[in-house]
Amino acid sequence: MLNKYPLWKTLMVLFIVSIGALYALPNLYPNDPAVQVAGLRGVEVNSTMLDSVRADLSKENIKYSKIALEKGQILIRFFDPDQQIHARDLLLAKYKKDYSIALNLTPAIPQWLASIGGSPMKLGLDLSGGVSFLMEVNMKAAIEKAHQAMVGDFRQDLRNEKIRYRSVKEFSAIDKADGVKIIFRKPEDLTAAYALLKKRYRGYEFIENENQLSLLVRMTEQKLKETREYALQQNITIIRNRVNELGVAEPLVQRQGKKHIVIELPGVQDTAKAKEILNATATIEFKMIDQDGDLGNALKGRVPASSQLLYDRSGKPMLVKKRIMLTGDHIIDANSGFDEYSRPQVNISLDSAGGSKFSNATKNNIGKLMATIFIEYKATDKKDAEGNLVFEKHEEIISAATIQARLGNKFRITGSGTVQEAHNLALLLRAGALIAPISIVEERTVGPTLGAENVKLGFQAIMMGFGLVVIFMLVYYRAFGVVANIALMANLVLIVGIMSMIPGATLTLPGMAGIVLTVGMAVDANVLIFERIREEIREGKTIQQSIHHGYEAAMSTIFDANITTLIAAIILFSIGAGPVKGFAITLSIGILTSMFTAVVGTRTIVNIVWGGKSLKKLSI
C-alpha cells in the first residue's frame, strides 16, 4: 500500500523527537544566582564548613533557596542577585584566606531531569555575560626556567660521569643570548665535558674557553623558538585544565599570536576571583628535607647556604634543600587512592624524562624525607626594565613523605592527610604547572544585562523568521503547510536538544544567526517536495502516486543541496574560531535535523493523515 510506514518506523520518529524535546526541556528553567565556595591549596570543604557557612548566613539574616555540598564544593542558591552579592561579601571577609568564594549562575532544573543528564545549553560570553582576558606569557621567565633546568641537568650528568667542575651557573651577556657557564678544574675535565654534553644535548651551542677552563652553553635560535612555543602551548593546556578542575567555568582558551592567550569565561560574574585564579602562576617542586641542619638556628636567621626555611599549611617550619629534584612540568597524571593500610595516597605518573631524572635523584635518598612544595607567583604592580610584570614568589609545603624505594615513572605520595586532602593534592598536581608567569594585558566584561538583551534580540529574530515562514507555508500550501510547520517546530526543538546534549557546544550570537538561517533553509526541502507533488497531480497521476513520487523524486535534489552546505559548515568549524565556530556548529546541526524533520518527519505525518486512502482532492 502506497504511503504507509510500518509501525516501528513511525514510533522511531516519535521517539527521536521526544528525546530531543526531553533534553531541550532544561532550557525552559531559569538560572539561579549562586555563590560557590571551594578550597584553595588543598584545603578541604566538608560538612563542618557547610554548617559554619549556614550559621553565618542565618546570623546575617541572608535568605537562600538551597545550600548543599556538591562535588567537594559548597553551592548556595539565592532568590535574587542582591542576596547573592551580600552573601559573597560576607563569606569573602571571613574565608578569603583558605577558600575561593565565587559568584555564578546555576541551572534550576529538577532533580529527575538532572539525573538523566539533562542540562541547558551553554551560552557564550555575548549571551550569558562574563569576562574575557587577553593574557601575555612572560617568555623571559620561560627561558630563565629552561636555563635553571639546564643547570640541574648538567650537574647531574657531570656527577654521574665523575667529571669534576668548580661551578655550574646561569650566565648573562649584554650583547648575546644568555646561557649556562661551567668552570672546570683541569683541561681534561673541560674536554670530557664538552664531548659528553655536545653528544647528549641537541639544539645547543657549545663554546670552549681553554684559558678560563670554561664551557659556555647557549640555546640556538631554533631551540629558543621551540622553548617559547612549548611554554605557550603548555600554559594554554594547563589554564584550561585548572579552570575546569576547580569548577569555575567552561572556558574558551586559545592562542593569539606568539605570546598571547585569549580566555573567555561565560557566566562568570566575579572578575576579581577569575583574575586571582588565572594570575596565580602555580608550580610543584620536589626537594629533600634537610634533616641534618639545625632548625632552631634557621628560625633565628642562620639558615645553611644549601637549604631554605619553608612552612607547611599548619605553619610548621621545615628546613628544605635548595636543590630541585623534580618539577611539576614532568607530571602527566595524578589521582588519589589508598595504600595497603587503607591510608590516603596520591599516585603520580611522570613522562620518560621526568622518570629518568627522578630515579637518579632518589636512588641515594631511600628512607629520607622528601617535601612536595606548592609554589605560586602572584603579580604585583611593579614592572621590570623590559616592561614585564614583577611576580612575588610564595612557597608552601603541602606534603612531607618518606622515600621508601627508588622512584621512577610511577610513584606514590603518602602522609598527605585526609581522603579529601589527598584528592585536592592530586587535583593540584594534575592541573599542572604553568611554564612561565602570565599577566592580564586586556580585560573585557560583558554584563548579565547586556547578555540578556542579546538573548532577547536573538530570540526575537528566530521567532520573527519562524513566524513569517509559518504564515507563508500556511497560505501557500494549506494543509501541507501545517505539516511543514509542525516539522519546522520539531526541527527547532531537536537543534536545542542536541546543543544541550553535546558537552562542548556553546550557543553564541552568531550561533543564533545560524539557527535563523536554518529556519529558512529547513522549509526548502518541503517546498521542493510539495512542488513536485503538485506537478505530479497536474500530470494526471493519482493523489497517492503523486505523494509517493513527489517524495522519491525530490530526495536527490534535497540531499545534494544540503550536503554541499554541510561541507561548507564543517570547513568553517575546522578553520574558524570563536564566533565563526558558533555559527558553523548550529548551522551543521540544523542541516542534519532539517533533513530528518523535513523529509522523514513530514512523510510520517502525511502517511498517517492521508496515506492509503482513496483521495480525489489534496489540500496543497
pLDDT given at position 509: 82
pLDDT for residue 18 is more than 90: yes
pLDDT given at position 429: 67
In one letter, which amino acid is 440? I
Cα dihedral: 485, 491, 496, 501 (round 10): 150
Residue pLDDT, tens place only, 93-113: 888 777 778 777 777 888 888
Residue pLDDT, tens place only, 182-226: 999 888 988 999 999 988 888 888 988 888 888 989 988 888 888
Distance CA 182, CA 214 (A): 5
Task: Compute the Cα dihedral for 193, 196, 197, 198 and give only its sign.
Answer: positive
pLDDT for residue 19 is more than 90: yes
Residue 229 binned pLDDT confidence (cut-offs 50, 70, 90):
confident
Residue pLDDT, tens place only, 287-334: 999 988 888 888 888 888 888 999 987 888 999 998 888 887 787 777
Distance CA 520, CA 580 (A): 19
H or E element in which residue 440 lies: strand 438-446
What's the chain's length in residues?
A: 620
E strands in 226-275 = 252-256, 260-266
Distance CA 91, CA 81 (A): 15
What percent of the chain clears pLDDT 70, i.e. is strictly above it? 87
End-to-end CA distance of the chain: give it in Å, rounded: 22
pLDDT given at position 21: 93
Residue pLDDT, tens place only, 386-444: 666 666 777 888 778 888 888 888 877 765 566 766 776 676 666 565 667 777 788 77
Distance CA 127, CA 389 (A): 33
Closest CA to 230 of 341, 334, 353, 68: 353
pLDDT given at position 249: 47
What are the backbone dihedrals phi and psi of residue 582, each rounded to the nearest 5 degrees, phi first? -60, -40
Residue 124 binned pLDDT confidence (cut-offs 50, 70, 90):
confident
Tell me, what DSSP letter sits at residue 597?
Answer: I
357 contacts 304 by C-beta, under 8 angstroms? no
Residue with the three cell numbers 560574574: 269
* DSSP-assigned states of every residue in 362-389: HTT-TTSEEEEEEEEEEEEEEE-TTSPE
